[in-house]
A and B are shown apart, each in its own frame.
Chain A
């Protein structure tokens, strides 16, 4: 693990989600695949941002809807061909649904900073990274950096117990 961390450090998978550009550390990513909604199976009682599971070569992998998880761009249309970034956390694999995957980019630590207070970000770490000269006009490109933990932060308000504890209340007959 350690060597892997060193060799891949500062590399990020850059993806798009609801019109924004974001990055996840590459050492957190196992693979990227096309998501076919026909192959998604619902998990009863799962938190609402779980779209279901897929069968990835015999492994059952939960798929997280990044938009819902981060409450981000919910009203924007999804692409026709969503991708799933398969990430590993705590020895388990998860898929993160995003609109598109662009590239692998290098972002040095000193190019990552905390976003200004007024800017809304996707997670509480509020990190943004700068990739030099990537925009069409040669300007630097800014991406939201998604930390590994933010996907599974159990104290995130949106995943607090209260929300999905509710049991449907309609009567049987």
Chain B
């Protein structure tokens, strides 16, 4: 079955999640190769993926999964340590699956030859692993034995107990016939005592012959034959049940013994293979359809069913009954396309045939015929429903002896599904969507259901919310002080609702950064193995939330950074031991949120970056002259690795070779509105720090005037706003000013100096008696910013500003007001860093030299 395009997105989405989970579990397993719970979980996930892939028809995936599953099924049933080699193969298979999924997704669900080849290769490798296991297949199943069923034989103690021989046939396309056979014996056990079965119940599960041979059983039961029979027919895939009553004293244990049927066998067959003379082929039926009907069938709105029925003997006037039935069907359930005997003929026989005439144009005229008792009646019906609807209707409407409902499939139906013109396709889609809506309202109580949302939709929702906020503020502004109390309260309510929507939309977008981190244990293990280096991973702050939009982008960035760290940064175990370091290197991934930013550091304790090497490379590549290199600071040199086309690798490594350069990493981070800092100490390691906005697109901000401009400071970073008496509270230390506030010394920074380069303020502080300062917190330190005036507090929407225009990172975007004005959102952290940089570490000794270097790095 091809589940079709409507499920593709859902499939890719979910399969991705599953594969990520699998990745994580495999990583865990490699640490605890014997842990049963992990093995069980892996089995479960693989199984799930297999099921999904098979449903949508991606054999390339399901085949690989099947073999992965088999492997883990073995370890699940035979608890023991999974060998490293097996885990490796599984990991490889997982990688392959990721690739196949990617390939499928980029090919819009088309299985390419690449994915097929890959799938074949993976299957082969997994099969090799499977062979090693030597799974004892069917080892404990005795073959060809006609053993007695295990049920104790209870001889006919009850007087009314009768003995039956039962033959059951299963549908040819029956899946798991063994289980069907088992279900049959279950039913028999419930309805009597199973004496014997052929094949014996022990060999059900591996016996595919059951489909062709059927199941024979001998039971004793006090129940009526018909009841047993009808119960058996309710087992799925059971298509024929024959029940013969046998003499109680007969040789009950030998089925091949002479059989003396006491009553005539009643055989109910549910599959009528032969085409009756009155039946029409799908092609003939098709000719009876209108264009509209064909269309409706093609798009699945209508289904065509062929119904054969036999009325019970008790029915007196079969013609009338059938006529009425057809009319009722036509009126309440669907459209009769054809019937035998024809409705028209039937109608003519009726006293009042007026009803029938209305149907004339719908129906095909067939030769008139009287209906004899127990004669098969036949009609073709178009309904918007299933077998079940028809059966329900029929069983309510008339007394039936037998009924068979069969769906008619037209050749073009399948073709139409795959080869529709674009217009037709969209039409199908919209109809399906309508159906979905319908099903959604029907199943209104689905509390656990999730709705997957396209990120673009979410993004545009977010923008709309932003507009809402802006307009809310506009109304507020327009109403001014003259607003009535009622207006005020409406506005207040509007504000509450808007805030709520904002929070909801934001919460939808935020995901823990763990989504990015989880890939790495495995990635690092693979890489370290390949490069023969020992590397441990430490993760901190994995619950830090980031915008879902950034996950993919960050993932690529991290892969590159981690790859660099292992490939270029980490020494081999021998080198490390020689240097007196621990044998295994450590890579630390840390994340934490502060204010509107998320900080992520990736630190290794490898050999660090030698600035001399970088200089050499840069000069070689013509990026700078020897003279320029001479006067560069340590950090300026380190920053060169972000220059376009720069790479520190001495040889092109297989692993790093396919990656992107650090320049691309930098531009990626910039495009996210973030910054990247580097610090490295030769012999001790390298630390890369990223600062990215957590993209809380709407924030509370303090609006201030400074110089000629209007600026916004995120409220989350503001501790307080105070008026300071210059004489009493401002002190001069070295080249710096500080204020004393609540017994704390706080650096005093003239904001205008950093953000308004044109306005080099001549104002001397000493000429002023009072100054207005905003106390802000940055990286856990307080700073006092002098500002000109306060405008107010307001919710603002962050609009990104191209990094190209914001290379210093002094702003975190801008915001637009209802009246069209634009205000820059200040990046307090960056401004304080510039301040610290300027005043070096003399005045503000910083015990953490790494941080110090980062401040330097942050300048570019």
Contact = CB atoms under 8 A, between A and B. Distances in A.
A/B touching: CB–CB < 8 A:
yes
Interface of A: 39, 41-47, 50, 53-55, 58-60, 62, 90-92, 94, 152, 154-155, 161, 164-165, 167-168, 170-173
Contacts of B316: none
B824 A41 contact: yes
Contacts of B807: 45-47, 164
A60 B822 contact: yes
A172 B814 contact: no
A45 B760 contact: no
Contacts of A90: 671
B455 to A, nearest CB: 15
A10 B811 CA distance: 38
B644 to A, nearest CB: 7
B441 interface: no
Contact of A47 (B760, B765, B805): B805
16 contacts: A39-B820, A43-B805, A44-B754, A44-B757, A44-B810, A45-B755, A45-B806, A45-B808, A45-B809, A46-B805, A46-B806, A55-B821, A58-B816, A152-B804, A170-B753, A172-B748
Contacts of B737: 172-173
Interface in B793-817: 799-802, 804-811, 813-814, 816
Contacts of B476: none
Nearest to A54: B822
Contacts of A60: 799-801, 813-814, 816, 822
Q: Which 7 A-B pairs have the closest CB atoms?
A: A45-B808, A62-B805, A44-B755, A45-B810, A44-B810, A41-B822, A60-B799
Interface in B721-754: 732, 735-737, 748, 750, 753-754
Contact of A167 (B709, B806, B814, B837): B837
Interface of B: 467, 644, 671, 709, 732, 735-737, 748, 750, 753-758, 760, 764-766, 799-802, 804-811, 813-814, 816, 820-824, 826, 834, 837-838, 859-860
B822 A55 contact: yes
Given A50-B805, A60-B816, A172-B753, 11 more contacts: A41-B821, A43-B824, A44-B755, A44-B757, A44-B808, A45-B811, A54-B822, A165-B859, A168-B757, A172-B737, A173-B737
Contact of B804 (A54, A62, A168, A170): A62
B87 to A, nearest CB: 41
Main secondary structure of the interface of B (DSSP, over half): mixed
A51 to B, nearest CB: 10
Contact of B753 (A41, A46, A154, A168): A168
Contacts, number: 102
A43 B823 contact: no
Contacts of A59: 799
B757 A43 contact: no
Contacts of A171: 735
Nearest to A62: B805
Given A44-B824, A172-B737, A161 B802 contact: no
A94 B754 contact: no
Contacts of A55: 816, 820-822
B355 to A, nearest CB: 60
A62 B801 contact: yes
A172 B739 CA distance: 14
B709 A41 contact: yes
Contacts of A168: 753, 757, 760
A48 to B, nearest CB: 9
A172 to B, nearest CB: 5
Find the residue from A55, A58, A167, A172 having the highest chain B CB count within 10 A.
A172
Contacts of B732: 173
B753 to A, nearest CB: 6
A149 to B, nearest CB: 12
A137 B732 CA distance: 71
A60 to B, nearest CB: 4
A98 to B, nearest CB: 18
Find the residue from A45, A47, A90, A152 having the highest chain B CB count within 10 A.
A45
A45 B826 CA distance: 11
Main secondary structure of the interface of A (DSSP, over half): loop
Contacts of B754: 44-45
Nearest to B750: A172
B834 A167 contact: yes
A21 B753 CA distance: 39
Given A41-B824, A165-B859, A168-B757, A92 B804 contact: yes
A111 B758 CA distance: 44
Nearest to B805: A62
A100 B768 CA distance: 47
Nearest to B797: A58
Find the residue from B760, B808, B810 having the highest chain A CB count within 10 A.
B808
A42 B756 contact: yes
B168 to A, nearest CB: 63
Contacts of A53: 801, 805, 814, 822
Given A58-B816, A167-B837, A44 B811 contact: yes
Given A42-B756, A53-B801, A170-B760, A154 B811 contact: no
B760 A165 contact: no
A44 B671 CA distance: 18
Nearest to B667: A90
Nearest to A154: B644
Contacts of A46: 805-808
A41 B823 CA distance: 8
B860 A161 contact: yes
Contacts of A58: 467, 799, 816
A123 B213 CA distance: 85
Find the residue from A59, A94, A167, A170 having the highest chain B CB count within 10 A.
A167
B773 to A, nearest CB: 13
Nearest to A42: B709
A104 to B, nearest CB: 26
A142 B478 CA distance: 53
A167 B801 contact: no
Contacts of B765: 172-173
Contacts of B820: 39, 55
A56 to B, nearest CB: 10
A44 B753 CA distance: 10
Nearest to A165: B859
A44 B834 CA distance: 13
Nearest to A169: B838
B766 A43 contact: no
A164 B801 CA distance: 18
Contact of B802 (A44, A62, A155, A167): A62
B667 to A, nearest CB: 8
Contacts of B766: 173
Contacts of A43: 801, 805-806, 810-811, 824
Contacts of A41: 709, 814, 821-824
A42 B801 CA distance: 12
Contacts of A94: 802, 804-805
Nearest to A61: B802
Contacts of B757: 44-45, 168
Contacts of B764: 173
A62 to B, nearest CB: 4
Nearest to B762: A170
B579 to A, nearest CB: 34
Contacts of B748: 172
A39 B817 CA distance: 12
A135 to B, nearest CB: 36
Contacts of A47: 805, 807
Contacts of A44: 754-757, 808, 810-811, 824, 826
A155 B621 CA distance: 13
A51 B736 CA distance: 31
A114 B442 CA distance: 70
B625 to A, nearest CB: 12
A54 B748 CA distance: 32
B786 to A, nearest CB: 9
Contacts of A167: 834, 837-838
Contacts of B467: 58
